[in-house]
Amino acid sequence: MTGRLTGKVALITGAGSGIGRVAAELFAAEGAAVGVLDVHGDSAEQTAAHVAARGGRASAITADVTAAAEVDGALHRLVAEYGRLDVLVNNAAIDLQGSITTGTEDDWDRCFAVNVKGVFLCSRAAVPHLTAAGGGSIVNHASVAGLVGVRNLAAYCASKGAVISLTRAMALDLAPAGIRVNAICPGAVLTGMMEDLMRARGGGDLAAGMAETLAKYPIGRLGRPEDIASLALHLAGDAASFMTGSIITADGGMSAQ
Ligand SMILES: NC(=O)c1ccc[n+]([C@@H]2O[C@H](COP(=O)([O-])OP(=O)(O)OC[C@H]3O[C@@H](n4cnc5c(N)ncnc54)[C@H](O)[C@@H]3O)[C@@H](O)[C@H]2O)c1
């Protein structure tokens, strides 16, 4: 590792599993102190323990990104512990399956609460700290599902489209404070979230669902959490100092067709 985040403090939401966990490990390996926020405190503890076992610095934070008081408290605790905040990765999300006719109103509200309002609340709480640090980077994890339609995932698609729009608006509003805001749109990445979707797509058969999905990926494989975490690392660091308002796909060419 090359110490690309040495001296920086990063908060990663939803870092108890999947892409967020791998990002926490990578950021810490690159020198950052990492706040590992998750609604599932035990998962956050496990990620923080993984990081510590490799000699990195991380603190587990149990918080729900949809609860303003919990988010504000989490930011204050992290800054009190490490003295500053340089990077926020808005990664926490849920993917509720259903079309516009089969998805419930509750599913819609929950999807927007976590995936969109969560980004709003965490970013709002982070901005004063990022500003105090002289600027920083916010990385929003959107999805190719915010750029193209995906069957039976209506609320999720709409929520990720909203994250893409919010990214552009935030980039404009926060540029004067030296805060860059970019979004990553991953294609299918093998995590717990994607496994459920693949199984449903294959009518209960995970392998069949994966084969159907893989057929849409020109690069011949699905994504790995590392593919997304390394892009988040690039956006978080100084190498991306001229990037803001960018919406970047990392999808093996899926959305290029
Ligand atoms: N896996 C994919 O194929 C894929 C594709 C495109 C985009 N993404 C996006 O990447 C991000 C990470 O996805 P993943 O596959 O690692 O998912 P995941 O389900 O493995 O991890 C999501 C984490 O978020 C946490 N979380 C959920 N609700 C929360 C809340 N209210 N407050 C705090 N934490 C909460 C969960 O506990 C979990 O640890 C998400 O934004 C997702 O939409 C994933």
Which two structure tokens, joined as six digits, stand for 186? 């991953």
| pLDDT number for residue 54 | 96
Q: Say if residue 101's pLDDT is above 80.
A: yes
Q: How far is CA 233 from the centre of its chain?
A: 12
| pLDDT band with cut points at 50, 70 and 90 for residue 43 | very high
Taking the C-alpha atoms of residue 117 and residue 93, their distance in angstroms, rounded to an integer, is 10
| pLDDT band with cut points at 50, 70 and 90 for residue 192 | confident
Q: How far is CA 189 from CA 76, 84, 248, in A?
A: 32, 32, 15
Q: Say if residue 1's pLDDT is above 80.
A: no
| Residue pLDDT, tens place only, 102-126 | 999 999 999 999 999 999 999 999 9
**Chain position carrying tokens 């992290």:** 78
| pLDDT number for residue 171 | 99
Give the nearest ligand 1 atom to 225 CA.
16
Give the nearest ligand 1 atom to 115 CA.
41
Domains of the chain: 9-187+225-249 (3.40.50.720), 189-222 (no CATH)
User: Would residue 82 show up in a list of annotated catalytic residues for this protein?
Assistant: no
- 93 Cα–ligand 1 center, Å: 4
| pLDDT number for residue 194 | 87
Closest residue by Cα to residue 63 from 32, 84, 96, 92: 92
Q: What is the pLDDT of the chain when averaged over all its residues? A: 97
